[in-house]
Amino acid sequence: MKTILISLTLASAFALTSAGAFAHDKHSHDDEAIGKPGVATATTRSIAIIMSDTMRFTPSSFSAKQGETIRFVIKNSGSLKHEFILGTEKELKAHYELMKKNPEMEHSEPNMITLAGGQTGEVIWQFTKAGKIDFACLQPGHYDAGMKGKVMVAKGKFIEAEHHTQAAGAVAAIPDSDADMVDGEVRNINQESGKITLKHGAIKNLDMPGMTMVFKAKDPAELDKLQAGDKVRFKAEKNNGAIYARDIELVK
């Protein structure tokens, strides 16, 4: 009976903490809302994040636009258990204190994922509010060691190009002279949707750091000659919110 009461007490404490720290009720938590679970078909790009036993995320900071849905592809490259949790700094600190008291607690919320060493998983999230959103690993000792990061969400409605009709001449593509060639590696090709996932270097004309993300192919026929693992060079342009890869060249 004593064991059952302890288990029920811990479960109740976690439920209350989760409801207070991670729920997004528009009346009582609107000022702390970090967004909402994203829909896979609405993702605009993928960001690869590495969690390591040095107690660091790589990258540890990046930017997003208000309304944007991002797929985080998260890999634990270490041997220790790590986790990725999105929240406000206040929420994360409160939950961390609970984790220190209950280190075996397992998470099952759309804004978080726990991975054993060598595992890979993903979180799909839509950033509905502008401002700073934090993320961290709340395994005991990890947060104190600096395993944390941030997302800077820029204000302004995000419009995905494929869901809207662009008025002729409304948005001009970036001219060739400004679009430098970028080195990349093909990670995945979706012929049906005309999209390609590339691990790429910095895209200077878009002021974008190196990462792994999904592009729409400007000319879907260019995808016919490619396969996962190919080294390529390409140009990138932004058109009405969507980012396109074009002039894709296979590097022999």
Q: What is the DSSP string of 75-92?
A: EE-SSS-EEEEEE-HHHH
Q: What is the CATH number of the domain that holds 119?
A: 2.60.40.420
Same domain, 122 and 189: no
Structural domain includes residue 3: no
The percent of residues above 70 in pLDDT, for the chain, comes to 75
Cα torsion for 37, 40, 46, 50, to the nearest 10°? 60
Written as six digits, the tokens of 123 are 């979180």
User: Which CATH number belongs to the domain containing residue 222 in this structure?
Assistant: 2.40.50.320
How wide is the angle at C-alpha 19 spanned by C-alphas 16 and 25, nearest 5°? 150
Residues 77 and 116 in one domain: yes
**What is the pLDDT of the chain when averaged over all its residues?**
78
Instruction: Give CA–CA dist 8/248, Å, rounded.
Output: 58
Q: Are residues 92 and 148 in the same domain?
A: yes
In a domain, 214, yes or no: yes
Whether residue 204 is contained in a domain is answered as yes
User: Residue 31 domain-assigned?
Assistant: no
* Residue 55 falls inside a structural domain: yes
Q: State whether 115 and 186 are in the same domain.
A: no
Q: What is the pLDDT of residues 164-191, one digit of tens each?
A: 333 333 333 333 433 478 999 999 999 8
Q: What is the pLDDT of residue 49?
A: 94
What is the per-residue pLDDT for 104?
63
Residues 117 and 56 in one domain: yes
199 and 115 within one domain = no
Residue 150, pLDDT > 60, answer yes
Of the residues 124, 154, 184, the one at which a domain ends: 154
Do 145 and 201 lie in one domain? The reply is no
Which candidate, 128, 129, 126, 136, places its Cα nearest to that of 60?
136
CB 57 within 8 A of CB 148: yes
Question: 181 and 129 in one domain?
Answer: no
Edge-to-edge strand list for the sheet holding 36-37: 36-37, 120-126, 69-76, 45-52, 56-58
CA distances from 153 to 48, 130, 156 (A): 18, 5, 9
Least confident residue range of 6-10, 149-153, 197-201, 205-209: 6-10
Residue 228 lies in a domain: yes
Residue type (1 letter), 75: K
Check the CA dihedral 215-38-103-7 and report its sign. negative
State whether 238 and 183 are in the same domain: yes
Identify whether residues 179 and 113 lie together within a single domain. Answer: no
Between 105 and 165, whose confidence is greater? 105
Name the residue type at position 222.
E
Which of 93, 122, 154 is the last residue before a domain boundary? 154
Please give the residue range of the domain that contains residue 124. Answer: 36-154
Task: Name the token pair of 81.
Answer: 């258990």
DSSP code, position 218 = S
**Contact by Cβ (8 Å): 25, 18:** no
Confidence of residue 98 (pLDDT cuts 50, 70, 90): confident
Half-sphere exposure of 50 (CA within 13 A, CB side): 10
The verdict on 148 and 179 lying in the same domain is no
Position with higher pLDDT, 33 vs 226: 226
pTM for this model (two decimals): 0.52
Residue 131 lies in a domain: yes
Q: Identify the band that residue 33 occupies on the pLDDT scale cut at 50, 70 and 90.
A: confident
Q: What total number of domains does the chain contain?
A: 2
**Buried-exposed string 115-133: b where 16+ CB fall within 10 A, e elsewhere:** beeeeeebbbbbbbbeeeb
Residue 130 shares a structural domain with residue 73: yes
| Residue 6: inside a domain | no
